[in-house]
Structure 1
Amino acid sequence: MKRYEEIDSLRGLAALTVLLSHFMAVFDINSNNTYAMGYLQNWYKYSPIHILWAGHEAVLLFFILSGFVLTLPFMGNHSFSYRGYLVKRFFRIYIACIVSVFVALALKGLLDQNDRMVDSAWMNTMWDEDFSISTIINHFLLIGAYSGEISPVIWSLVYEMRISIIFPIIVYFVLKYDWKKVLLFALLLSAFCCILSAMFSNNTFNNLLLTGHYTSIFIVGSLLAKHHLFIIDKTRAIKRLQKYLLLITGVLIYTCNWLIDPDSILHNILMVDWTATLGASIFIILSVSSPTLSKLLKSKTPSFFGKISYSLYLYHLTILMFFIKYDTGLPIALTLLLTFIVSVLVATVSYQFVEIPSMKAGKTIANRLKEKLSISKSA
């Protein structure tokens, strides 16, 4: 199957969005609900401009992209090895993740107690206490219980790993059944899980329910992959003005979370996540269908951030926390600039010396397993 470079660039832009969301979270005004108040910041905070730092929406885009990319190989005629698939997925996600946890632990160990405070109450309390053994173990058990004290961004990778384990089963049903039935199932699964999650306060149970909810988001990506050639043909046939209108519609839907009052009954996980999913789907469709957007996404800078996107996602908050807690004495604006530069450098090193070797190792082991299976069958 064809590899879409635009998809990698979209992932890079999403990673930058998450980074900016944590930069904005340094200032409490961006974390608290000020919708009904006369704050000057509301003009950008509750507007489509929020797309630039819509972190949660960016993670949903990650999930859709994963569903899209993981489905494409299943549409070929080559044989499938579940063990090989798991090995490659493990080496793609787990190794780089665990290395980033070690780095976070090392940076935390370099810190002395300090009194530097920022506006964000959340960031002021992070890394304040020593990590317990159970907390460290939970970070290493990527599909198990997760608390987030060491590296909060790993929360999404817990769902990514869980869903990856069952994804071949998901793809089987996506490819077998009509898209309307599959999409209806995804919506019902999401609604069922979210409603139950709202009814119970057990964190472990809610965590499992949210796995079902995010599985539905993966299904959307899988459906897009299944019908991507048809969608590309149809989208390319529409006029340029219609594409611009579609892009604007995508931005408005994607940022719907920030256009309505957070205290409104409409502001719930189903509304927020599914509008963002629809908007993200439009971005994906346009990225692979519009020659102009495709050329832009395949240019040097977006491609670069696409390559380092995973490591950038893993490291940026750890580096931000270190520079805040270490107290460099720099103004917060320069601290954020320093964090961005160091995060990009660290992500580049991680991509070259951790991600690439891990992916190669996973592919090599998967191929050996496939060869052994072929030999045993022939014998």
Structure 2
Amino acid sequence: MRFNALGSLRGLAALVVVIHHHLLVFPDLFPTKTGVGGWFDWLSFTPLHLFWAGGEAVSFFFLLSGFVLTLPVWRGEELDMLNFVVRRVWRVWVPFIVAVTLAALAFWRLGWASVNGTSGWFENIWKEAGVPAYVQHVLMLGRMDEGLTQWAFLPVVWSLKWEMWLSLLLPVVVLLARQHRIFTPLLCVLLLAAHYVFGTGDIATNLLRYLAMFVLGAWLSRHHGLVARTVTRWPTPVPAIVLAATLLLIPVQWYGWQPDVGWLRATVNDTVTLFGSAMLVALAMGWAPFRTWLERPVPEWLGRVSYSLYLYHTLVLTLVVRLGAERLSIPWLLLVSFTLTFPVAELMYRLVERPAMQQAGRIKRAIRPASIQPVPAD
């Protein structure tokens, strides 16, 4: 069973991340600050932030992974963890390490230097590049998602560490998602709250946040039939109203933004964004006009190359800005980078991602290890 519309949503989320990182090159947009005025404030603190809400898009990725990875269990297949992990290595790690290696080679060829007119975010890219950081990336361990190490090669790949770790915890995700229909969403909110109450500086508490996203996606996957039927029965104006409200609510953290917020506001921010992401998935499954739009060629293409788009856009951005800084102004360089990102994503999809996916699809194991028994979906 495939949901092409969900792949398109993933592609649109990847596009949001691309826009996000191109805008972060402007010093007025990173670090976030109030009182800049003009279009910077409009982009940052209004619903327009939706179009470059990179953090919110990553939350959507985690939720969608929970949905897709547990779907076979809910439709009656056993979860063969050894087979599953090997496939995830091919699907996630192999394209990831190719991209990281290309970025490392680019750094060792060009080196790091300050670029006038760019933000602290861009200046941090490659600043901590080196063998220790590369080893941490290869192993998907250590501090590759913290401090300057997360910028060492590709600023986006920190999320893939958690993607792989949560894939290893998929039996736990399934266990939590198979609880009472009401209990699981409440548990997700509690996990988010615990993350912010106990702090965000260590592996255990950080894991709670991303686990909540995976679990809610798995819960939505388990009940996807019921959810789709419910949305289908809504009268004509309701889905459009819900979609508009959802898109307005997803960037909630930017309304009344402050540099430091308490655990309650942070939990509310994550909860609203996460449940808004779940509502987008529900609408894509149950509202025919939305699903039809998502299945058009351009959104479907974005979905097909979304992983390569995610992996390579900051490498293209870094190379274009560093190589062209003395020839063009920053806005023109960003336009060149943005334009080049899409053919590069298509190329790397064909050269790396698609062969890795095909290899993952060919993997068959003769020995079946202990597995999780399937649970019927609604």
Q: For residues 265 and 372 of structure 1, do their structure 2 counterparts lie closer, same or farther at Cα, with a shift above 3 Å needed?
A: closer
Q: Which string of whole-angstrom CA distances, capped at 9 and with x for unpartnered residues, describes residues 260-300 of structure 1?
A: 23247468532322211121111111111111111111100
Partner of 1:331: 329
The answer to whether the aligner puts 1:158 opposite 2:161 as a matched pair is yes
Unaligned runs of at least 5 residues, structure 2: 370-378
Closer, same or farther in 2 for the Cα pair 1:338/1:184, shift >3 Å? same
1:117-128 matches, within 5 Å, as 117-128=116-127
Which residue of structure 2 aligns with residue 83 of structure 1? 82
String of CA shifts for 1:134-174, please: whole Å, max 9, x gaps.
11101111144312111121111011111110112321332
Question: How far off is 1:93 after superposition?
Answer: 0.4
| Mapped contact 2:90–2:360 kept (Cα < 8 A) | yes
Offset of residue 126 of structure 1: 2.5
TM-score (norm 1): 0.90
The aligned counterpart of 2:318 is 321
Corresponding position of 2:235: 239
Deviation of 1:36 after TM superposition, in Å, equals 5.1
Mapped to 2, the partners of 1:23 and 1:30 lie a distance apart of 10
Is residue 211 of structure 2 the alignment partner of residue 209 of structure 1?
no
Percentage of matched positions with identical amino acids: 28
Contact 1:18/1:55 (CA < 8 Å) preserved in 2? Answer: yes
Change beyond 3 A, Cα 1:37–1:321: closer
Shift of 1:258: 1.3
CA distance in 2, matches of 1:68, 1:170: 10
The residue that corresponds to 1:179 in the other structure is 181
What residue in structure 1 maps to residue 362 of structure 2? 364
Structure 2 counterpart of 1:182, one-letter code: T
Q: Is the 8 A contact 1:143 1:162 kept in 2?
A: no
> Distance between the aligned counterparts of 2:160 and 2:265, measured in 1?
23
Of the three residues 265, 286, 296, the one matched with 2:293 is 296
Aligned residue in 1 for 2:139: 141
Contact 2:189 2:267 in 1 (8 A): no
Give the aligned partner of residue 372 of structure 2. Answer: none
Residues 48 and 252, structure 1, Cα contact 8 Å, conserved in 2: yes
> Which residue is equivalent to 1:65?
64
Q: 1:12-161 to 2 correspondence within 5 Å?
A: 12-35=11-34, 38-111=37-110, 116-128=115-127, 131-146=129-144, 147-148=149-150, 149-161=152-164
Unaligned runs of 5+ in 1: 375-379
Q: Report Cα offsets for 1:114-139 as digits up to 9, x if no partner.
A: 5532231221243246x332111011
1:190 maps onto 2:188 in alignment: no
**For the Cα contact (< 8 Å) 2:177–2:216, is it kept in 1?**
no
CA distance in 1, matches of 2:111, 2:163: 34
1:222 equivalent among 218, 240, 248? 218
Offset of 1:107 from its aligned partner?
A: 1.6
- Once the two structures are TM-superposed, the CA of residue 357 in structure 1 deviates from its matched residue by 1.4
- Which residue identity does 2:30 align to in structure 1? S
Residue equivalent to 2:257: 261
Q: Which aligned pairs between 1:335-350 and structure 2 lie closer than 5 A? A: 335-350=333-348
1:287 is the counterpart of 2:292:
no
Preserved CA contact (<8 Å) 1:143 1:159: no
Determine the structure 1 residue equivalent to 2:375: none
Amino acid at match of 1:230: L
Q: Which letter does structure 1 place at the counterpart of 2:180?
A: D
Secondary structure at the aligned position of 1:28 is classed as: coil
Query: Which residue, 168, 190, 195 being the options, matches 2:171?
Result: 168
Q: CA–CA distance in 2 between the matches of 1:41 and 1:285? A: 33
Deviation of 1:190 after TM superposition, in Å, equals 2.2
Equivalent residue for 2:353?
355
Task: Give the secondary structure class of the aligned counterpart of 1:8.
Answer: helix
SS in 1 for 2:157: helix
Greater Cα offset, 110-119 or 93-102: 110-119
C-alpha contact (below 8 Å) 1:116/1:327 kept by paired residues? no
> How many angstroms does 1:47 deviate by?
0.9
Which letter maps to 1:213?
Answer: R
Does residue 307 of structure 2 align to residue 310 of structure 1? yes
Amino acid in the other structure paired with 1:86: V
Conservation of the 8 A alpha-carbon contact between 1:143 and 1:161: no
Counterpart code for 1:286: L
Shift of residue 79 of structure 1? Answer: 3.3
Aligned length, in residue pairs: 362
Query: 1:61–1:280: 8 Å Cα contact kept in structure 2?
Result: yes
Q: 1:373 to 1:192 in 2, by over 3 A?
A: closer
Distance 1:167 1:303 in 2: 27
C-alpha contact 2:324 2:333 (8 A) present in aligned 1? no
Q: CA deviation at 1:185?
A: 2.1
